[in-house]
Amino acid sequence: MALPVLALHWLDEKSADAACTASGAAKPLLVPVKPSTPRLGLAVSRKVDKRAVGRNRIKRVMREMFREYRAVLQMADYVVVARPGAAALDHEQLRNTLLSLLRRAGALPLPAATVTMPAPARADGATPASC
């Protein structure tokens, strides 16, 4: 999954098992480890921001958001790659971008829809009083 400012690569348990069995090699070179908690990898290159302070800010915001949602994330390994546009985003925009990317990928459950229903009509035909 990708957006103009971030790209997400992730490997869940099912994909890891399929990769091991589909290789057909007698001894795989790389054996995926099944994570006990969701794990995060970050890639923020100098192309994103030439200053280390800027690159570290991006990583700090993404780590903070990941820790907050770790309990509800699917069990998988996640790698987030920042793109040059990420340096222009502020703290809240960066958090929301990563959050929407995880939701689009299916790693996070979608938020519950808030549905407002009209009040049922009363038997005597009167409309309910509003507060």
* pLDDT tens sequence for the chain (131 residues): 888 999 999 887 666 555 555 555 555 556 666 668 899 999 999 999 999 999 999 999 999 999 999 999 999 999 999 999 999 999 999 999 999 999 998 888 776 656 566 666 666 766 655 55
Neighbours of 15 (CB within 10 A): 13
Phi, psi (deg, nearest 5) at residue 25: -75, 150
Of 3.30.70.260, 3.40.50.150, 3.40.50.2300, 3.30.230.10, the CATH number of 6-19+32-105 is: 3.30.230.10
Amino acid at 6: L
Per-residue pLDDT, 28: 56
Cα–Cα distance between 125 and 131 in angstroms, integer? 19
The total number of residues written for the chain in this structure:
131
| Spatial distance between the Cα atoms of 92 and 98, rounded to a whole number of angstroms | 10
Domain spans of the chain, in order of start = 6-19+32-105
pLDDT value, residue 1: 81
Determine contact, residues 35/78, Cβ cutoff 8 Å: no
Q: Which residues contact 32 (CB under 8 A, 6 or more apart)?
A: 11, 16, 19, 20, 77
